Amino acid sequence: MTSFPDNRTSQNVNGFDALVSSFGDDSRSLTKLFSAFDDAVFAFAFRHEEPLSWWSDRVADLTGRSETDLASQRAGALVTESDRERFDAACTTALDDGNATVSVGFVTADGRERSGDCHLVRLPESDHLFGVAELAEEPPERTAHERDLERYETMFDTVNDGIYALDDEFYLLAVNEAMEELTGYGRDELVGAHGSLISDDETVSEAFRQRERLLDGERDVGTYEIEIRRADGETVPVEVRFTSLPSEDGTFEGTVGVMRDISERVERERRLQLERDRVAALFEDSGDATVYCEYEGDVPTIRSVNAAFERTFGYPVDEMVGRSIDDVVLPTELAAEGKAINRRVKAGEYIEDEVRRETADGVRDFFLRSIPVHPGESGEQSYAVYTDITERKERKRELEETKTRLESVVENVPVILFALDADGRYTLCEGRGLAAFDTSSEEVIGESVFDSLSEYPEAIADVRRALSGEPVNAVHELENLHLETWFQPMHDEDGEVTGVIGVSMDVTARMRHEQALTALHTATQEMLEASSTEEVARIAADAGASVLDLPGVVVFLFDEETNTLEPVAHSDDVPPLVGPPVSFEAGESITWQVFATGETRVFDDVRESEHVYNPETRLRSGLYVPLGNHGVFMSVDDEPGTFETDAVELATVFAATTQAALDRVSREAALRKREHELEEQAARLERLHETTELLRDIEHLLVLADSRSDVVDEVCERLAATDRFSMAWVGTLDEATSKVVPEAWSGMERGYLDSVSLELEADSTTVEPAVSTVKNGSLTTVMNVAGGVQREAWRFEALTRGYQSVIGIPLVYREYSYGVLMVYATRSNAFDALSQAVFTELGETIAYTIDALETKRGLLTDRSVELDFRVTGSDDLLQRLATSLDCRVTYEGIVNDEETDHLFITVHGTDVDAVEAYLDEAIAVKRSRPVTERDDEALFEITVTEPLIPSVFGERGAVPESITATEERIRAVVTVPPTTEVRELVETLRTRYSGLELAARRDRERPVQTVQTCRAAFEEGLTDRQQQVLKTAYLSGYFDSPRGTTGQEVAKSLGITQPTFINHLRTAQRKLFDRLYEVE
């Protein structure tokens, strides 16, 4: 028994309730228990259903039993037999609730029964019960203080945790045995020592802070953790629970507390934190997707994910944290699987399994490791690690597929897999290829390869090479089969050959295919040397039958002229099979259909096709291969199903080669044609060049000519002088006789013009080309005189004289005809389109030259003819103006340029504004302006885009002297040279003005030095532009006084600048004055 110091017994006893309160939740029961102590109380300790482990002396005194006897007795043995059941029930209640009280009877030493209350308390952190029995009328043998002290001492020393008492100055008042063990100091060293003996300054300060909180009333019991220093210098982590020592006057006298060693707990926590740190590091740094979840009920809620998880699943972190992991990654159809995993993990089970989970890119395969935070225990936290195995599973699937295919190859492909040992004996021989040799694996294994291949020395030589360590690939012919074999030596760890593994494949079809291709190559070489499509077709038909071994071969080529497929070549067996092959028109046969669609067709029975040419044909099999736009390669047979895949493939390849050969021949033919065309074109260009040069020479001669006769003579002689033309002549129309009269000719005429009819009334289909040219007024060409020679007499005469082609050129200038030029060539087709254009230009040049010469002659002659015309019903602008405004219009003059005429007219008897308005609306008037205005008349300059009557007369060599238009008619007085055919001129003018009549004709004599001759001589010294400027200025009233128009206005009307106008005007004036004063 442990006793308290004598001088502090009463205080310890009185303060024992405070000590008991430091035991925690059981403090009230213990306080109640010990407060009941007095002389009538005895106490004992025991484990229920076991013998007493401790008892007070009072128990032995009361029961009269020895220490040995009590040590073997259960607590219930102290109670009367009738109360034992209730006593056991109270013990059970105390164990469950912490305390219980029961009234029972106790058997004393003298055999008496004494009743009393038994208080039962479960000791803290123990399954021991502490019993206190309070007996009635027990005479005290000792004082209550002594009993309490003894009890406290007993409790003090039986508790496993260190118990201490400190005074108000932090000195130790008492310690128990556990405290001695905890600190390593003896009780005599501890009691009376300051608390700093086992604590450093920081710990002492913390203890004082905790005590102040206790004194402030923040709590009744204080708890904190500190480290104490043992006697051996080692520090020990402890948990301290303390409270104040009660005093009678309420003053603070110290504290009492329990100190428990928590080294193991701290170590566990340290290890746990270390584990957590490692897990956190693994969590963050792991390359696998990792998620930490906490369960809310049965729902695993995401608390954090690592970067790999975010990358793998493709969802942002803020969209995942706080959500159920199943809602984020679990496919809907796998909800049941997810719930099962959650239950297992929550129960503390570690899970490894392959699963499918949803990512932002779709469902993928993962290897899942679900790790509870407390394995083996139910818990609320777990980690899940997802390793993406999608590609691994795909590779596995591909390997399985490859394995399946390989097995299928071995079972279905005609190959032989074999293995030989170092002596050349078969240890393995599998494959469908064995069937070709009518043997089985069982028959071959164990046999020597040298025996089985004894008749094939080349094959044996390759086997020996392989057994010597050399990989070999070779093709051997065995029993009419071609086998390609790969030999691969096998070596042991020392590099010694232990055997050979090999694969043999039947390549008979390939070898025959290659042989066929070689033969086709030879045929192709022949095609490359062929010069015509017919020769290519013949080679294709022969090769199809002899090389490809095809029956009934026919090669059809497309004829562009008849739009049919013609059988150009065929094999010898075609006529006996179907008779002579026929042509096919559009849409009437399979052959044509293949040609039109460009698609190869194969038939086991041609009668199945809707395009079969003859439904009753004896033919069955048919192979039709298009040859591009050239035709069709056809093979037919009277047996069904003749054409196998290999044959079709070879035929298709050969047809492509044939098509290429046909393309080449066609290209070469096109090139030859093009070369011929280029040669002809070069010849035409050469002839054109010669013709152009010839015409340039003629144009030069025309410039130098002085008369019409000079013109026509020079033209005919120059043309006939070349080798290209036999004869040329010029003729004019004689209206009196209605025939073309030759005016000049040159070359090999030889009476031709006298032998042919040149009358206009002859049959238009048989007349000489000169007549057609005159009548039609257009170019006439006869490219081949020999054509129609029996129907047209002139052709016979022409051929007799060597004329092969003819061209007739009308000589027309501004719609006035000056005759016809006829040229005869020594070869046919001599006048192509380019030559015709050149001769047309020559005709216009000749007509212009004749017109100019006759106009000049008329101006320079001293005699002239004056013609007085009346024109009615004309749509000429002058008469339309006079009619619309009821006025008289007088012609003053005209200035011509290349595209328009500038006409000067005087309008009498009407308003100027009305004239301007009319001219502005007239379509034929490009622009107009009033020049001068006097009294009731005004001078206008108008620019017109259509020929008016003054220009029509001028174009035909008639010089207007006066022209006046009124509402009724136009009167025009003109002069013409005396050589002019007046009747022809009148008829020509009537083609334009049907209401034209010649009212009078007068012959006029001119003096030797007439105004006309002077003007002509003067105008010869002026350029056309100077004449235009001078005449326009004069007619515009520029020289009038006062001036009728300004130089700027005249320049604008001519489309030139004013300085240019002044320059031309001064140059013309200087030439005029030079002419005037040249006599002096």
Task: Give residue 519's pLDDT.
Answer: 65
Helix or strand or coil: residue 684?
helix
**E strand or H helix at 679:** helix 645-704
Task: Give residue 1011's pLDDT.
Answer: 55
| 460-495 burial code (b ≥16 CB/10 A, e <16) | bebbebbbeeeebebebebeebbbbbebebbeeeee
- The CATH number of 1-158 is 3.30.450.20
Please give the CATH superfamily to which domain 705-841 belongs: GAF domain (3.30.450.40)
Cα distances (angstroms) measured from residue 260 to each of 17, 31, 162, 203, 230:
20, 21, 6, 16, 14
Residue that has been written with the tokens 């019903």 in this structure: 873
- CB-CB neighbours of 417 under 10 Å: 18
Closest CA to 293 of 335, 321, 334, 319: 321
Domain boundaries, the chain: 1-158, 160-260, 267-395, 417-506, 512-669, 705-841, 861-1006, 1008-1080
Domain 1008-1080 has CATH 1.10.10.10: yes
Closest CA to 367 of 382, 380, 357: 357
Residues 6+ apart with CB under 8 A from 554: 541, 567, 569, 570, 571, 574, 581, 634, 635, 636
Query: Mean pLDDT, consecutive 10-residue segments, the chain of 1080 residues?
Result: 31 35 42 43 68 76 77 82 86 86 81 81 79 66 54 66 86 88 89 88 82 72 84 90 76 84 85 72 75 90 91 91 92 91 88 92 91 69 89 86 72 80 89 79 87 88 91 85 88 89 82 67 73 86 84 91 90 88 88 90 90 88 92 92 85 86 84 80 72 74 78 87 89 84 90 88 74 89 87 88 93 83 91 85 86 69 82 90 92 79 90 91 89 87 87 82 92 86 82 88 67 65 83 84 83 87 85 63
Residues 6+ apart with CB under 8 A from 218: none
User: In the numeric block, which tokens belong to residue 648?
Assistant: 């079709």
Identical fold, 1-158 and 267-395? yes
- The CATH number of 512-669 is 3.30.450.40
Task: Give residue 383's pLDDT.
Answer: 87
Contact criterion met (CB below 8 Å) for 894 and 1027 = no
**CA dihedral sign of residues 250, 252, 254, 257:** positive
Task: Give residue 1007's pLDDT.
Answer: 54
Strands of 162-252, DSSP E: 162-167, 172-175, 222-229, 235-244
Backbone angles phi, psi at 741, to 5 degrees: -105, 120
- The CATH number of 267-395 is 3.30.450.20
Separation of alpha carbons 759 and 252, rounded Å: 168
Task: Give residue 833's pLDDT.
Answer: 84
Contact criterion met (CB below 8 Å) for 714 and 698 = yes
Domain 160-260: top CATH class: alpha beta
Given 3.30.450.20, 2.40.160.50, 3.40.50.620, 3.30.2290.10, which CATH number is that of 417-506? 3.30.450.20
Closest CA to 35 of 15, 50, 54, 55: 15
Task: Give residue 15's pLDDT.
Answer: 34
User: In the numeric block, which tokens belong to residue 305?
Assistant: 């994910």
